[in-house]
Amino acid sequence: MARSIHLTWVLLMALAGLTSASGFFERGNPRFAPVVVVLSVMKFLLVAFFFMEMRKANAAWGAALIAFAAILSGAILLLR
């Protein structure tokens, strides 16, 4: 259990670094906006499933969380 938490933490830090690095490239190229949204959704789902323990919850809650992330990120990308 402790190993998966450490691995998740390292993955979250790597995703945060990638999000920050893509922000530097986004200034000149607007095609990086979907990359930032996808990385943010990945971080959101990692935190929800590993630290809020949604893995142990009913499958309907996990599906609702994934649907919420998909709808929200889709709306953000469509409004861009």
Question: Tokens representing 26?
Answer: 């986004």
State mean pLDDT over 13-24.
85
Place of tokens 């450490």: 6
Torsion sign over Cα 67, 70, 76, 80: negative
Residue 80 in this model has a pLDDT that exceeds 90: no
What pLDDT digit, counting tens, does each position of 46-65 carry?
888 888 888 888 899 989 99
Domain that holds residue 6: 2-79
Give CA–CA dist 21/15, Å, rounded.
10
Report the domain count for the chain: 1
Closest CA to 41 of 20, 22, 68: 68
The answer to whether the Cα torsion of 7, 12, 16, 21 is positive or negative is positive
pLDDT computed for residue 60 by the predictor = 92
pTM of the predicted model as reported, rounded to 2 decimal places: 0.79
